[in-house]
Each structure stands twice: as structure tokens, then as C-alpha cells.
Structure 1
Amino acid sequence: MCGIGGIFHSNPQQAIDSQLLVNMAAIQYHRGPDGFGYQALEGRGVGFCHARLSIIDLDENRARQPFVSQDKQVLMAHNGEFYDFQEIRAELTARGARFTSKSDSEILLHLYQREGLAATLPKLRGEFAFALYDSAEDAMYLVRDRFGVKPQYWTLTDEGVVFGSELKVLFAHPVVKRQFSAEGLYHQLMQTMVPGTTAFEGIHQVKPGYVVKIQRNTGTLAVSEWKYWDLDFPKKSERPTEWDENEHIDNIRTALLQAVEARMVADVPVGCYLSGGIDSCAILGLASAVSQNPVKAFTIGFDDARYDETPIATAMAEATDAQQDVMRLSGNELYGYLEQTLWHTERTVYNTLAVAKYLMSQHVNKVNYKVVMTGEGSDELFGGYPAFRRDMFLHGLEDMRPEDRAEWEALLQQSNELVQGAMLAKDQVDDEYLDEVVGFTPSCLQPWLACSPLVPALLHPEYRETLKDYQPGKAIAATLDKEQLEGRHALDKAQYVWIKTMLEGQILTWGGDRVDMANSMEARPAFLDHHLAAVAVQVPPELRIKGKIEKYVLREAMKGLLPEVLYKREKFAFMAPPAHTDDTKWQQMMKLADKYLSDEAIDAAGLLDKAGVQALFARHDQPETTVADKVQMDAIINHLLGVQILHHHFVATNVPQQAAARAEALGWRVC
């Protein structure tokens, strides 16, 4: 696990500044503190850099990236993990490949040279982002894993393409523009990003499961992309019927165990994140069964009992003889570290869970762990979120008996009250563009679409005018693959939309890689193994949510591992307490507001409208404001703080100078 970056000039004769490559590696030192590397191909106008976190093959000299092929034709830099690499390595060695390291990354170079990219991609199992330059084609490929666990950004400048694992890697290059786009600013304030975009002008993401190809031809660069993988739920008319309930349960158990076993492979200890949910408890249970030694289990505890899952997590740790390590947090920490956290997330956050995860990865690093397994992806594959239950009820159970419908309505009304205004909209929101593509407006997007009418009043008048006819639902809907939605069950559609929007844009960024790697800690989400996903999509909707039980098939598959209280427990969304729930948290938020949302700060950044911001705070304090409205406004205030902090970090600050200073302080320089 590490960080990568690089430059691909339009003019092959334009020399690569090697120290600039080193600076691009240095500014992402947190992703790879164990060493750095850089390579530029002479006369090709291309160079890559790499900051390394050593997990497989700890010999820095032997495993140093970027890798260059023996014939000097292919340049490669890789971030992430390839599982099953031992088997692939053995097969390639038998075919005559000569490896120079024990690193899992090197299999990519040999596979590509022998089989080409199209044949290589299906063989790669894991979480990864990589860049390949092929001299024979004079083309560069940027590739991202199937779910988007690992990040990959790129931009086209007057000189060529600049890419990297984080936005700050691109911003370290002096020709890369550092300013918000109007649409990007809008989506930062309403939380949900348009897939493939960022907050900043001209900065793109490689979409999950995609390849971006940059082809050079007589001094120009042509950019194209194609999808190499998708989740592919079966159509309702084509769903296989050969497996009964018990066979589906067995299939899930087997596939999840294999995914966990693959992710236990490392040359350093592997721990687990442990909350009170089925997901992380299942991972810990399987990891403990596989491991010969007690597994280290890291738990976040909150000072608000309504949000604290420590008691159930402790019960699971005791049941598996795990070594539990609990870190407790209060409002002082959750807002006290928001500025540092946003330097890493590079996007706004609606909930300070991002800060909690940042502080946890810091703690994991301090106790000398580099790798943990996590439970992300379980809710996405098995229908665990309250939004899925709502869509199943509204759009997937047309033949329900009246008495059952009344019971479901009561359940939806009372369950997950803590997430009203955040993960569930207070009132129904319908978007005509999403309705057209999906068939309905997925409940997972409704709380953020509900924020949309509030956004214009918060924007600087110039941005407000630019966006006066903007339709965020239309922009999101345009990125969804209609072929993957047509003919599918309502629950399949809801899960697919969440995976393409909220999973990649939120859970795997500010709740995953960015706050984990902020402290040089690699997270391995076993549920996002594509072999497991291929089994999970075959499970009928009525076994994902059976009656009123969400994630039914997973519960049954893991029944023998889980404490009874957890097996019977309803899904609870793991999140940090909102600011309004505690005076300490609110006062900490207001300290940041005094710094970043003052009239002077707003004028200096030129992003927001002072009157609109003041009106939002005034409405928040009104006695008639409901709890759900306060949850929504807490989220918007977090976003307002976020855009101002991002402006400070990446626009007002000279990032190229910052990167150069970081390299000098580290002693990272051209040899």
C-alpha cells in the first residue's frame, strides 16, 4: 500500500523534472513513509513516482517502485494489494518470467507484457490503483479497482496529464489549476458527488472498475475510458433458481471466508476494526478462526451512549479471544481535529465519523500496526442500510398484504430515528431525472437531494448565478449505467446506485482510504472482494431482506460466530454524534465557525454568501426547529466549514512550495 503520481507530457521531448516527481511523492509521505522512488524514461516525456508503505516484501531496495521492464519499454507504479499473487507469480515463473522482488506489485508488469491489459485485469484480485506507460503504444493507462477502494485522480494541463493518489499530489505540480468548480462546490455543500468528479476545476477521478487511456499522437493527447467490470445484478427474469436458501447461505459463508483468508497474507501483523455491527464482527470471527494467534481488535467508543457500540464489540472480542483496544472520543476530539482530517479527505464531510476514523488510524499506527481488515461493503452487498429497507418496502413488495404493510410502515417510522435528516430524508424527495433512469428516486440520495434547495442561498452570488439552472439529480443520473438498472429488482437498483455514489464517494474516501492512509495504515475490506460480490448478487432480494430482517443471508451464514445479542440486533448506522446533541461538540463547532465562517473569512475565499450562512445558523437556533432538521443543518454546517477549510488548504496555500519543503525536510531528493 502506498501512493503514486506521475507526469505524461504532450511533447515527448519535454524533459521530466525529477525533483518535481520527488516532491509529488513527498507530499503524500503519509501514504508511504518507508521509502520513495521515481523513474523517468528518457526521450519519452513520462515519469512516475512512488511513496512506499512496506507490507509485502519489506526489503526497500528490492521492492522499490516504479518498476521498469527489462527492455525499458514499460513503466509501472502501483498502489494497493494484489491477492492470490503467489499463485500468479508461480505460474509466470514457470513460463520464464524473472522477478526482481517478492512484491505482489511486480506480477502486474509481467502479466501485462505477456497477456496485455484486457487479459490481465480479470486476474487481479484486490484493492488497487495503478499507472502503466507502454512505449510501443506511446500510451499511458490509469486503472482503478472494481469498487474504488483505492483513489486515482488525473487532470489535463497545457503541458500534458498529471495524475496521483491524492489531489495534493496533482496540486504539487505548479501548472495544475487549484480552484473550485461551480458544480463541485455545489455538490460539496449537498454531500453527494457526481461519480468521476471532484470539487476542483478540471480534476477528475478514474471511476471504479474503469481504465482511462491517454494516447499520445504527434504532440497531442487523446483521453478515452472504458469499463472493465461492473456489479451486474441478474435481471428479474434471469435470476437463477437452482439454489435454495441453505445453499445461498453456504455460498456466502465460503466466499467470505476465502476473502478473509486472502487478506490475512502480509509480512506484518494484520488486525481488525471492530464495531458493534455484524460486518466487522463477522470479519473478526473469521480472522480469529484462520489465525494461529489472537487478533488485535480496534474499537471506537463515543461519549454518547446512543451512538456507542462498545459493549457489543467487547462481547465479540471476548467470544473470539481477541485483544481489544478501545479508543474513546468526545466532542473535543471530533471537532478539534477536523482541519487536519480535511487535509487528508480533500472533500467535505457531513459527519465527524471521518475525524474518529482519522484518530483511530493514528492510534493504530502508534501501536505499530500497518494493516487492519474492515467491514465496509457488507451493507452494500446484503441490503443493510435503512434506505434499502425503505426502497424494498415502497418499490419491491407490491403484493404485500395490508396487515403486513402496516407493520412495515410502523417499523420504518420507529427504526433508525438517529439517522433521520442524514441517512434518511425527513420527507419524501422525488427527482424526475433519477425517476427516469432508476424507476424511482433511491432513498439513499434523498437526504442530500433534500439539502439541494438550501444550497443556492449559501453560495456566493457569482456561483449562484452560474448554477441557477443546475439540476444535481440530472448530473448524477447521467453517470448511471441504464443497462445495469433495466429489468432489475428495486432492491438491486437501490444497492447499485448506493455503490456507485455513496460507497465510492463517501464511505471509501472520507470514511476509508483517505483517513486510514493519513496515518500510514492500510485497510482491507474483505466484503469488497469481487469473487464474493459475484456470489452476493445471485442472492434473491427476499433473502437479503427477509421479512423485516436486513442482511438475513449474512446473519445466517455467520450465525455460529456471532453473540446472540448481535445476531438478533437490528442494523444500526455507525456514525459520530451530531454537533447539536452535546454542548461541548457545539462549542467546538462554533470555534471553527468563528475562524472559517466569519464575514472576513467568507469574503476572502469568495465561495459563500454571508447572509445565507447567517440565516442558516439563525434557523438552527429556533425553538421550533425539529431534531431531523437540526441533523440536516449540522451536516450542512460541516460542509460550509469544509469548503472554507479546503480553500485554505489547497487554494490559499502554495501547494507546490509546500511539497518542495516537505521533500527537503524528509531529505527526499534526486540522487
Structure 2
Amino acid sequence: MCGIAGVFHRDPSRPIDPQLLVNMAAIQYHRGPDGFGYKVLSERGVGFSHARLSIIDLNESRGRQPFQTDDQRLLLTKNGELYDYQRIRAQLTADGAQFKTKSDSEIILHLFPRYGLEKTLEQLRGEFAFAMYDNEEDALYLVRDRFGIKPLYWTQTQNGVVFGSELKVLFAHPEVEREIDEEGLFHQLIQVMVPGSTAFKGIHQVKPGHVVKVKRTRSGLKIEEHKYWDISFPQADDHDINPDENYYIEAVREQLLEAVQHRLTADVPVGAYLSGGIDSCSILGLSQAVSQDPVKAFTIGFDDKEYDETPIAKEMADKVGADQHVLSLSAEHLYENFERTIWHTERTIYNTLGVAKLLMSQEVNSVNYKVVLTGEGSDELFAGYPSFRNDMFLYGLSDLDTQQRKIWKSSLEQNNALFKGAMLPREEYNSKAISSFVGFTPTCLQPWLHCDTIAESLLTADRRERLKDYDPGAAIADTFDLSMLQGRHPLDKAQYVWIKTMLEGQILTWGGDRVDMANSMEARPAFLDHHLAEFATRVPPQLRIKGPVEKYVLKEAMKGLLPETLYKRQKFAFMAPPAHRDQQKWAALMKLVEEFATPQQIEGAGLLDAQAVAQMIKTQGDSQSEHHDRVQMDAVINHVIGVQIMHQKFVATDIPKQAAKQAEQLGWAA
């Protein structure tokens, strides 16, 4: 894993300052502390840079990016890992390719001239984001992996296109404007973002499974975006009506084992994250089964017993003989690191789980580990979230009698009472725009879209006026591919929507890459192997959720690995305890308010209404309302603080100057 950056000028004769490229690498030093590289193509208006985290081919000089082909046709800078690259490398070598490094990245430079981009991407397996300049076509390609595990941002300036692995990398370029826009601000306050967007005006993400192509023409730059992959569920009528359970159980086990084995490939030790869920327990169990030595298992513990999963995680570690490392966290410690987390997530967070994961990646780094396997993606593929069960009960079981439906739904709500207001809505919310695309408003979006009136009330009057006709549900729905929703089973639709919104915008961002790479730690989510994912879409809905049991087929596939307690347990969402749980947590949150969200600071930023914010916080502090109402208001307060920190860190701070200073301190010079 690494950090990438670059510039593509409209005018090829316009010079590029090499030190600027180095500065853009330096400000993402946390992504790649093991070295840096840069390359400027004179008279082509192209410059790339790279901050390196050494995991495969540890030879610093040999593995240094950017890579350029001998004929100088292609220039490449890449972030992430490609698996099964040894097999591809051997085939290419037999075809006459000559490799300069042992890096997995170099296969792209040999595949592209032989097969073109589309066929190249078909062969890439893993999590990656890369930029490649093709001199023959005079075009820049920005490519992101299928699920968006690795980040990649871009923007257009007066003189061309600037890209990078993080927003701060773009902001290190003096021509990139730094302004939080109305729509971006609104979506920060309601948690769920519009796919492909950011909080900042004119700053875009390359969407998962997409390519952005930038080509010079006589009239200027031509920018095109196209999708090369999507999660594609079968038509509802094509699902197996009378499935052979054993076939699906054995196939899931086989596919997951293969995905895990690929992700154990590294020239450094590989550990695993371990919570009390079957996802991480399955990954640890399979990793330990194929490893000669005890696998290092890293577990987060919380000071609130209702949210702490340490006991079950310990039971799993003991069962398989893993070497468990537990990091116990208190509320004060989490809130003390909230500001640093926002600097890395570059978006607001509704819960301090993102902080907890940043502190855990710091712990992993401190014991000299760079790589861990994680369980992200399992809930998305095998329908593990409570919101999926709710949608299944409501829309996916037409032949279920009313009484049984009520019993199952009541059980679901009782087992997830702690997470109502976040994972489940406090009351039903319908977005007409989303329902027109999907057929219903998936439960996963309802808690956050329901915050729309709260978010609107917190905006300054002028921003509120400019957004009076804005429909956040419509903005989100407009990004969906209708052809991926039409004719699908309701559960498939719900999973598709989550994958397109919450997975990429939350789980893989502030719960994944950004807080992991904050401490130079690479996370590998084996469940998001696209071969496994493509098989998972074909698992019949009634085997993903069987009666009241979520992830049924996965549980059965992993039954022999799991402790009995975990095998019989319903899904328990992994979250940090919210602030209203006790006075100590609330005091820690209020300390953040005093530091970043006083009336004077809010008025100075000019984004929010200081009086409305103060009243909201006072009401929440005095409230004796239901837990689920307070969970949601805790989230909104976290978002308000996050917005204020983002303004301070990314708008009010001179980031180009900060990046130059960072390069100087590191001794990184062109």
C-alpha cells in the first residue's frame, strides 16, 4: 500500500515543478514512509509521485515508483495490492516480457500494451488505485478497484487535472481550491454521501469499478468516466428456488479460503483483526489453519460491556491458537484523538469507532506489523446487517404469514436495540426518489435520510435558502445503475444500495483505508475478493437470510471454525459506545465542542448556524428521550464537530505551505 499523486496539464509544454510533486508525496507520508519517487515527463505536461509502504519486493531502489516502460510509452503510479500476480507474471515472461522488479504493480505495464485496458482490468485481482499515462494516446487513466477499497480523488484546475490518494494531496497543489460546498456539507451532516462526491466543491472520487480517462484534444481536456465492473445480482426469477445447501456451503468455504490464501502473500508478517463477529473470526480461523505459526490477532476492547466484544474474540483466539493482542479503549481516549482522525478520514464520522480503528492501526504499527486481514465485506455479501433482515421480512418474504413476520421483526429489534437510530431507523422513512428506483427505501439509508430536517436547521440561512429544493435521496438515487436494480429480489436490491453507498462511503473509508493507512498499516478485506463476491451474488436470498438467521450460508460454511457461542449468536453491530451513555463520555464530547464548535468558531467558519447548534447540544444534554433518539443526535453532534475540524484543517490552513514544510522535515527533495 502506498500513496500516489500527479498532475496532467492541458498544455503539454507547461512545466511541472518536481518539488511540488515531492510535496504532494510528503503530505501523505503516513501512507508510504519507506521512500518516495517522482517522475516528470518534459514537454508532455505530466508528472507523477509516489510515497511507498514496502510490503512486496522490499528492495527500495528496485521497487521505487513511478514505473516507466523502456519505450517510454507508459508511466504508472499505483496504490494497493494485486494478488495472483506471480501466475500472470510467469505467463507474461513466457510471452517475452522482461521484468525489472518483483513488484506486483509492474504486471500492468506488460498487460496493457498486449490486451488494452479492459482486458487488463479483468485480470487484476485485489485492492488498488492507479494512474497511468499513455504517451501514444496522450491520455491519463485514473482507475479504482471494484469496491473502492483504495481511495483516488481528482479535480480539474485552470491548467489541467490534479489527482491523489487523499484530499490533502490535491490541496497541497496551490491551484486546487479548498471550499466546502452546500451539498457536500449537507451530506456530511446526514452521514450518507452521494457516491463519487466529497465535501469539497469540484473535488471528485473515482467511483468504485470505474475509470476516468483524461485526454488532450485541440479544444482542451476531454474527461470521460466509464464503469468496467459492478456487483451484479441475478434476476429474481433466476435464483435457485430449491437450492442444494451443501453445494453453496462448500463453494463459499472454498472461495473464501482461496481469497484468504492470496491475501497472506507478503514479504512481511501478516496479522488479522479480530472482533466478536463471524466475519473476522472466519478470517482468523482460515488464516491460522494455513499458517505454520500462531497468527497475531488484534482486538479492540471498549469500557462499556454492552459494546465490548473482547470475551467472544478471546474465545475464538483460544480455539484456534492465535496470539491475541487486545487494545482496551476508554471514551476519553477516543475523543482525545477525534481531531487527528478527521484529518485522516477527510469526512465526518458519526461514531468514534473510526477513532478506535485509527488507534488500533497505531497499535499494530507499534508491534512492527504492516499488514492485517479484515472481515469487511462479509455483511455486504451475505446479508449480515440488521437492516437487510428488516428489508427481507418486509419485502422479500411474500409468503410469510403475518404472525411469524411480527415475531421475527420483534426479535430483530430487541437484539439490535442498542443500534436503533444508526443501524435501524427510529421510525420508517420513505424517499420517493430512492423508492422510485429501488421499489422501496432500503432500511440502511433511512436513519440518515431521516436527519434531513435536523441538518437543514443547522445550516446558515443563506445555505438553507440555496438548498431549499435539494433532495438528498434523489442525488443518491441518480448515481445508481437502474439496470442493476430492475427485476432483482428485494434483498439483492438492499445489498446493492448498501454496497454503493455505505460500504464505499463509510466502511471502507473512515472505518477502513483512511484510519488504517494513517499509521502505515495495510488492511486486506478478503471477503471483497471479486471472485468470491461474484459467487455470493448467486447464493439464493433464502440461504443468505434463512428465517431469522442472517449470513446462514457463511455460518454453515465456517461452523467447524467458530465457537458455539458465536455460531448461535445473532449479528451484533460493531460500534463504539455513543456519548450519551454516561457523563464521562458526554463530558469528553463537550470538551471537543468547546475546542472546535463554540459560537465564535462556528460563525467564523460560516457553514452552520451557531444558535441552532448551541440549542441542539443543550437539548441533547438535557434530554431524557429514548436511546434511539439520542443515538441519532449524538451522531449529528459528531458531524458538526467534524465539519468544524474539516474547515480548520483543510480550508483555513495553508496546506501547500504545510506540505512543503513536511517535505523539508523529511528531507524529501527533488
Instruction: Report the TM-score range of the alignment, normalised by the length of the smaller protein.
Output: over 0.9
**How much has 1:218 moved relative to structure 2?**
2.2
**How much has 1:113 moved relative to structure 2?**
1.8
Partner of 2:516: 516
Instruction: Give SS of 2:451's match.
Output: helix
Partner of 1:99: 99
CA distance in 1, matches of 2:197, 2:433: 19
**How much has 1:409 moved relative to structure 2?**
2.8
Partner of 1:67: 67
**How much has 1:578 moved relative to structure 2?**
0.2
Deviations 1:139-182, CA, capped at 9 Å, x for gaps: 00000000000000000000100000000000000000001011
CA distance in 1, matches of 2:124, 2:200: 31
Are 1:619 and 1:625, in contact at CA under 8 Å, matched by a contact in 2? no
Are 1:334 and 1:585, in contact at CA under 8 Å, matched by a contact in 2? no
- Indicate yes or no: 2:650 matched with 1:650: yes
**How much has 1:242 moved relative to structure 2?**
8.6
Deviations 1:555-605, CA, capped at 9 Å, x for gaps: 000000000001001100000000111222111110110121111101110
Partner of 1:53: 53
Partner of 1:147: 147
Partner of 2:172: 172
Taking the TM superposition and a 5 Å limit, the aligned residue runs for 1:50-449 are 50-218=50-218, 220-240=220-240, 244-449=244-449
Structure 1: gaps of 5 or more residues = none
**How much has 1:406 moved relative to structure 2?**
2.6
**How much has 1:111 moved relative to structure 2?**
0.7
Higher deviation after alignment, 365-374 or 457-466: 457-466
CA distance in 2, matches of 1:49, 1:409: 52
Structure 2: gaps of 5 or more residues = none
**How much has 1:352 moved relative to structure 2?**
0.2
**How much has 1:238 moved relative to structure 2?**
2.1
Q: Which amino acid aligns with 2:353?
A: L
The alignment's C-alpha RMSD in Å is: 0.9
Q: Which amino acid aligns with 1:504?
A: E
CA distance in 2, matches of 1:84, 1:547: 38
CA distance in 1, matches of 2:129, 2:422: 31
Deviations 1:414-449, CA, capped at 9 Å, x for gaps: 120011111111000001001100000000000001
Instruction: Give SS of 2:450's match.
Output: helix
Instruction: Give SS of 1:301's match.
Output: strand
CA distance in 2, matches of 1:413, 1:664: 55
CA distance in 2, matches of 1:176, 1:595: 28
CA distance in 2, matches of 1:595, 1:455: 21
Q: Which amino acid aligns with 2:42?
A: E
Deviations 1:343-389, CA, capped at 9 Å, x for gaps: 00000000000000000000000000000000000000000000000
Q: Which amino acid aligns with 2:464?
A: R
CA distance in 2, matches of 1:240, 1:35: 51
**How much has 1:625 moved relative to structure 2?**
2.1
Q: Which amino acid aligns with 1:391?
A: D
Change (3 A) 1:457 1:242: closer
Higher deviation after alignment, 451-460 or 435-444: 451-460
CA distance in 1, matches of 2:242, 2:438: 28
CA distance in 2, matches of 1:213, 1:179: 25
Q: Which amino acid aligns with 1:206?
A: V
Change (3 A) 1:6 1:464: same
Instruction: Give SS of 2:411's match.
Output: helix
Q: Which amino acid aligns with 1:448?
A: W
Instruction: Give SS of 1:307's match.
Output: coil
Q: Which amino acid aligns with 1:431?
A: S
Partner of 1:570: 570
CA distance in 2, matches of 1:276, 1:608: 39
Are 1:10 and 1:219, in contact at CA under 8 Å, matched by a contact in 2? no
Q: Which amino acid aligns with 2:177?
A: K
Q: Which amino acid aligns with 2:438?
A: V
Deviations 1:165-210, CA, capped at 9 Å, x for gaps: 0000000000000010110000000000000000000000000000
Partner of 1:629: 629
Instruction: Give SS of 2:49's match.
Output: strand
**How much has 1:623 moved relative to structure 2?**
4.1
Q: Which amino acid aligns with 1:270?
A: V
- Indicate yes or no: 2:585 matched with 1:585: yes
CA distance in 2, matches of 1:451, 1:592: 22
**How much has 1:469 moved relative to structure 2?**
1.0
Q: Which amino acid aligns with 1:28?
A: Q
Are 2:599 and 2:611, in contact at CA under 8 Å, matched by a contact in 1? no
- Indicate yes or no: 2:611 matched with 1:611: yes
CA distance in 1, matches of 2:53, 2:413: 46
Higher deviation after alignment, 340-349 or 607-616: 607-616
Instruction: Give SS of 2:186's match.
Output: helix
Deviations 1:280-327, CA, capped at 9 Å, x for gaps: 000000000111111000000000000000000001000111000000
Are 1:331 and 1:588, in contact at CA under 8 Å, matched by a contact in 2? yes
Deviations 1:612-653, CA, capped at 9 Å, x for gaps: 102211221344422111100000000000000000110010
Q: Which amino acid aligns with 1:417?
A: A
CA distance in 2, matches of 1:493, 1:208: 18
Are 1:11 and 1:219, in contact at CA under 8 Å, matched by a contact in 2? no
Are 1:350 and 1:639, in contact at CA under 8 Å, matched by a contact in 2? yes
CA distance in 2, matches of 1:525, 1:221: 36
Provide TM-score, normalisation by structure 1: 0.99
Instruction: Give SS of 1:621's match.
Output: helix
- Indicate yes or no: 2:544 matched with 1:527: no
Deviations 1:238-259, CA, capped at 9 Å, x for gaps: 2256951110001100000000
**How much has 1:662 moved relative to structure 2?**
0.3
Q: Which amino acid aligns with 2:257?
A: L
CA distance in 1, matches of 2:5, 2:88: 26
Provide TM-score, normalisation by structure 2: 0.99
CA distance in 2, matches of 1:336, 1:565: 35
CA distance in 1, matches of 2:131, 2:102: 20
Partner of 2:474: 474
CA distance in 2, matches of 1:655, 1:402: 59
Q: Which amino acid aligns with 1:181?
A: D
Are 2:243 and 2:540, in contact at CA under 8 Å, matched by a contact in 1? no
Q: Which amino acid aligns with 1:59?
A: N
**How much has 1:54 moved relative to structure 2?**
0.2
Are 2:6 and 2:48, in contact at CA under 8 Å, matched by a contact in 1? yes
**How much has 1:401 moved relative to structure 2?**
1.7
Change (3 A) 1:325 1:242: same
CA distance in 2, matches of 1:517, 1:460: 35
Deviations 1:438-483, CA, capped at 9 Å, x for gaps: 0000000000011111111101122111111110000001001110
Aligned-residue identity in percent:
64
Are 1:382 and 1:551, in contact at CA under 8 Å, matched by a contact in 2? yes
Instruction: Give SS of 1:546's match.
Output: coil
CA distance in 2, matches of 1:617, 1:512: 29
CA distance in 2, matches of 1:408, 1:628: 20
